Amino acid sequence: MIYVNGDSWTCGIPEKDSIKHPEFIWPYTLSKKLNEPVVIEARAGTSNHRIYRRTFDFLLTNKPKIAIVCLTRWERIELGNAETGKIHQYMPHRQPSYFKKDWHPYLAYTNFLRHIISLQNIAVQHNVNLYFLDTHNNNLERTPTITWFMDILRKSRAFAQMDDERIAKKFSKVEKLSTYINYDNFISNLSYIDLVNKFKMVDGHPDESGHTYMAELIYNYIQRK
């Protein structure tokens, strides 16, 4: 069994989660190439919180031969909604009011790192081959610097409340957490977006040729492992 999670770049259906996954998306093609059934929990507009939550729960109770997680933007969050009784995904450009008041980029980014570390650890514990791919550019920072960190802090009002000592302390936590991520199990040093930038885009997402390319690339990576 193959397990796959990610956002619209993986499920191939921008903003149309109620529609069946198109057969040309790379998880289906990869499934055929490896002759393994596939479980796809990717969802358009998702956050890494949902990706982590669903993947963690799946790995607790199942043992796929391969699990592939395509990370989405670290800024995205999920929150419960009292009116609907459901969990909703939020993006800065879609629901800016949720990010203007109490959203904290330090907390959001370090939780992003904790999600990756947690999934890598549970995969080792359950003997699952777990691979990652960063979908977006300027997302997971492999070599964080204080300048970069201050830039992400400026995304919220929290920056004005932090002195140099506090910023340095928070940055040291980012550096520490980053050292626990195993980048050997990342499919590429490039982002998914960079890998398919030569292919035609439909509604800002790769067409069938881009997904075919990704299936081949991921298949070759797995074969080398």
Domains of the chain (ranges; CATH) run: 2-224 (3.40.50.1110)
Residue 57 scores a pLDDT above 70: yes
Counts of helices then strands in the chain (DSSP H, E): 9, 8
Each residue's pLDDT tens digit, 94-138: 888 888 888 999 999 999 999 999 999 999 999 999 999 999 999
Q: Give the three-class secondary structure for 77.
A: strand
User: Cα dihedral angle (102, 103, 105, 108), rounded to 10 degrees?
Assistant: 130
Q: Which amino acid is at 212?
A: T
pLDDT band at 17 (very low <50, low <70, confident <90, very high): low
Residues contacting residue 72 through CB under 8 Å, at least 6 positions apart = 6, 7, 46, 47, 48, 51, 135, 136
Percent of the chain with pLDDT over 70: 97
Contact 168, 150 (CB under 8 A): no
Distance CA 124, CA 122 (A): 5
Residues contacting residue 215 through CB under 8 Å, at least 6 positions apart = 26, 27, 29, 30, 33
Give the pLDDT confidence score for residue 16 in this predicted structure.
54
